[in-house]
Chain A
Amino acid sequence: MAGTDLPLRVVLAKLGLDGHDRGIKVVARILRDAGMEVIYLGLRQTTDSIVAAAEQEDADAIGLSMHNAGHMTLGPNMVKALRDAELEIPVIIGGIVPDDDVQPLLDAGIAAVLGPGASAEEVAQTVRDAVSAAV
């Protein structure tokens, strides 16, 4: 006798110094409106603080928003920090990521990359797909 299905729990964070939070706030509301529970960590998070939150909150997915071209360094750092903590949680990057960087990020273990202009449905579906693929 299993309990009820819970909404997906998604940790959203800005990793590093980048303060552009318009996009991530919009995504937080999109995911809430798609029936998910968003644990919003906000600005200036480190890989450690995100791992700690993901552990405690038993997150199904982690969403990072990046606007300062730091994704090629910070994205893989995040994946490594999760692996070090033995957490198999998919990481989705949103924000400004040039097309050419998408495949290298996927190769580095990022689950999905969401570009600017993704619709609300795409955003929610990308999270759902990343979670299903990870299970």
Chain B
Amino acid sequence: MATTKLSRNASIDELYTAARGGNRRALGRLLTLVERGGRDAETIGELANPDAGAAHIVGITGAPGAGKSTLTGRLVVHLAGAGRRPAVLAVDPSSPLTGGAILGDRIRMSDTTEDLTVAPEVGDRTFIRSMATRGHSGGLALAVPLAVRLFDAMGYDPVIIETVGVGQVEVDVVAAADTAVVVMTPGMGDAVQANKAGLLEVADVFVVNKADRPGANDVRRDLDLMLDLSHLTGQDTTDGGDGYRPPIVMCSALEGTGEADVWAAVEAHLISLDERGQRLRRRHHRIRTEVRARMSQALANRIDEAMDSDVGRELVAHVTDGALSPTGASAKLLDALLGPQLEPGLDPRSEPRS
């Protein structure tokens, strides 16, 4: 698929143009720069911004072993077969000890279908990228939205983010999608677990995977019950509680049954968002989340710098001497840091520390 000859030292502009022209290697490279963060990532974001905005962004999450990747693989084959150009961002946890990771979603996606790896008509329309939860500056909250925007700008639609629904950042990432799909399985107490993890509040579509197993109907009933309850108690905040009730779709990704139903429910949700005028609200929410994450990162960098500055060291020394309390020190440092700098027009970016 390499349509443009690409030099090893191609600039970001060149890479971007090549990627827009269908060069997958260039897109692969850009995604790495996005993960790396810093100025290059920002440049890519600026380039992609005007070209993006059309894609349906879908988050897929669920407990480990729920079959998210298998379902994602099936959806990708289904979508490519229907003439779509799906992209997948598969997020896998890194080892907290070494920062290394075994990124297995890619192989798990092809668990049950060789089409993903061997059928050119599927492979050429699809782009799958694995991303580890650590190993890039700013973490997931910064890299994921940028990568999604890049896929979007390249004409991939839908863009699917697949992640284990365990960490808060991951839940946020999925919640910020247009459509959030939560995958459950029978026999693992998943409904309860999902509830604990806060996944029930963010779900737009529930999928009960491995629906051929005993207990699948129990999961459906539990979910129905929880949805009833949240409606009754008025705790249903999904889309402002305006009557959308997440459907529960039964499927067996392993057997390859039900993925068409899952996708139909995902599309129906998007239509419903439009009808209810909620799609824009989702986008606002997504952008708000991203901007907030960028600011948090920038501030964290600022704080690190301040702590390492002469003033910071001096204040810490005063606390050690007993001349100052920790609260007092942090208040002084914050004043010094934020006071004059919250003026409009100031660039809040800062050098990420490496």
Footprint of B on A, CB under 8 Å?
1-7, 9, 28-29, 31-42, 45-46, 48-49, 52-53, 55-58, 85-88
Q: Does B196 contact A (CB under 8 A)?
A: no
Complex A-B: 18 CB contacts under 8 Å: A1-B352, A2-B38, A4-B354, A6-B136, A7-B100, A7-B135, A32-B95, A32-B98, A32-B101, A40-B106, A49-B123, A52-B24, A55-B24, A56-B27, A57-B130, A58-B31, A58-B32, A86-B2
If A1-B38, A38-B102, A40-B107 are given as contacts, then 6 extra A-B residue pairs at C-beta distance below 8 Å, sorted by A number, are: A2-B39, A33-B100, A35-B98, A41-B107, A86-B6, A86-B25
Most chain A C-beta atoms within 10 Å of own C-beta, residue among B8, B98, B117, B127: B117
CB-CB under 8 A for A40 and B103, given A3-B36, A49-B118: yes
A7, B98: Cα distance in complex, Å: 10
Q: Say yes or no for B132: interface residue by CB 8 A criterion.
A: yes
Task: List the A residue with the shortest CB-CB distance to B6.
Answer: A86
B53 contacts partner chain A, Cβ-Cβ < 8 Å: no
B221 contacts partner chain A, Cβ-Cβ < 8 Å: no
What DSSP secondary structure best describes chain A's contact surface? Answer: mixed
Q: Report the bound CA distance from A22 to B277 in whole Å.
A: 54
Q: How far is the CA of A6 from the CA of B41 in the complex (A)?
A: 13
Tell me, in angstroms, the Cα distance from A58 to B35 when the chains sit together: 11
B69-107 interface mask toward A, CB cutoff 8 Å, 1 = contact, 0 = none?
000000000000000000000000011011111111011
Q: Chain B: interface residue count, which band?
A: 35 or more
Asked if B29 is an interface residue, CB under 8 A from chain A, the answer is yes
Assuming the contacts A3-B41, A3-B352, asked whether A58 and B29 have C-beta atoms less than 8 A apart, the reply is yes
User: A37 to B128, Cβ gap below 8 A?
Assistant: no
> Closest CB-CB distance, B52 to chain A, in whole Å?
19
Q: Which residue of B lies closest to A49 (CB)?
A: B117
Complex Cα distance, B29 from A9, in Å, reads 12
Q: Note all chain A residues with C-beta closer than 8 A to B117.
A: 45-46, 49, 52
A34 contact set on B, CB distance < 8 A = 98, 100
Provide the residues of chain B in CB contact with A5, threshold 8 Å.
36, 354
Pair B100/A4 contact, Cβ less than 8 Å: no
With the chains together, A7 CA to B103 CA distance in Å? 13
For A6, list chain B residues within 8 Å (CB): 32, 35-36, 135-136
Q: B129 within 8 Å of A by Cβ?
A: yes
Across-interface contacts of A32 in B (CB, < 8 A):
95, 98, 100-102
On chain A, the residues within 8 Å of B135 by CB distance are 6-7, 37
Q: Is the CB of A4 within 8 A of B136?
A: yes
B36: which of A2, A28, A45 is its contact (CB, 8 Å)?
Answer: A2
Kindly supply a per-residue 1/0 record for chain B positions 109-140, scoring 1 wherever the CB is within 8 Å of any chain A CB and 0 otherwise. 00000000110100100011110100111000
Q: Give the residue name and chain of the A residue nearest to B27 (CB).
A: A56
- Is A37 a contact partner of B2 (Cβ separation < 8 A)? no
Q: Are B36 and A39 in contact (CB under 8 A)?
A: no
